[in-house]
Amino acid sequence: MENQQPSPQPVQPEQTIAPLPKPPFPWGIVALVIAVGALSVGITLFLVKGTSLLSLSQPKPIPTIVYNPQPTIPTAKTTILPTNTVASPVPTAISPTKALSCEVPDNTYCPVLADLKLSYSSKNYAGFLAYQDLQSVTCDPDGMFVSICEGEAKGMVKQGYGIGYNQSEGTMLLKVDYIKTVDNYINSNGPFNYRGSLVSGDKGITLFLNPNKDHVLLFPLKKTGITWRMNVLILGGTFGDASFDNLSASLLDLVQ
């Protein structure tokens, strides 16, 4: 059997594939993006400008200047006391004026003299007691009569201030009775004028006389350290004794 040749097949014409059409360019989307971007920029500029205008329209706060004064530095002569310190009473200081106007040689006596004069002129007879010591006495109805012991039992100890009477016995009184006695004496025999003062060593006297020079108000003081004190205030008549008017040195013998 003879080999059969394959019969030729008809050649099919080549098919041509048409190219796909190109999609149109998205101009609408691009325009939308540009519009949104422009709008965002505009809003941002508006907000920034509005904030700047708002900042400019508001008043700026004025800074407060606090003045801090420098503390005063005390000098070597300045003494600073704590606020809770209670000052204790001190004797009257001796000023140069008092020292120059005082006729006694001891300047420590000058403030005493000034105080006694002031107490008398102001009728502050309690001021005499600033220089008078408080005395004690044991009461004895059978002994010498002492006013402060009147009505008290024997052996009772009383305290008061002494008053001596020239050429007579003295007495001791409570403060209120002391002031009353001095006031009555001055009103009855005064007014009294300052006659003078004497100072010798630790003894000193200050003397007042009435115009008739027949009654005396005498302060006999004794010095301890720089302090002048007295035990009694001497009242009473002069009985013609010229030593009071003459400020005799013998009057210093009355200082106890």
- pLDDT tens for 133-192 read 999 999 998 887 888 998 899 999 999 999 999 998 889 999 999 999 999 999 999 999
Q: Which regions of the chain are under pLDDT 50? A: 1-5, 11-18, 46, 48, 50-100
pLDDT confidence of residue 256: 86
pLDDT confidence of residue 169: 85
Determine how many CB atoms are found less than 10 A away from the CB of residue 182: 22
How buried is 222 (Cβ within 10 angstroms: 0-12 exposed, 13-18 middle, 19+ buried)?
Answer: middle
pLDDT confidence of residue 109: 96
Determine how many CB atoms are found less than 10 A away from the CB of residue 250: 11
CA distance 140 to 148: 11
pLDDT confidence of residue 22: 54
Q: Give the dihedral sign, CA 222/227/231/237.
A: positive
Architecture of domain 101-254: Roll (3.10)
Q: Which amino acid, residue 248? A: S
pLDDT confidence of residue 65: 37
Q: What tokens were used for 105?
A: 């040689």
pTM for the model stands at 0.60
**Could you identify the residue written with the tokens 């001055």?**
186
CA distance 134 to 170: 15
pLDDT confidence of residue 156: 94
> In this predicted model, what pLDDT tens digit does every residue of 163-178 receive, in sequence order?
999 998 889 999 999 9
Cβ proximity of 157 and 169 under 8 Å: no
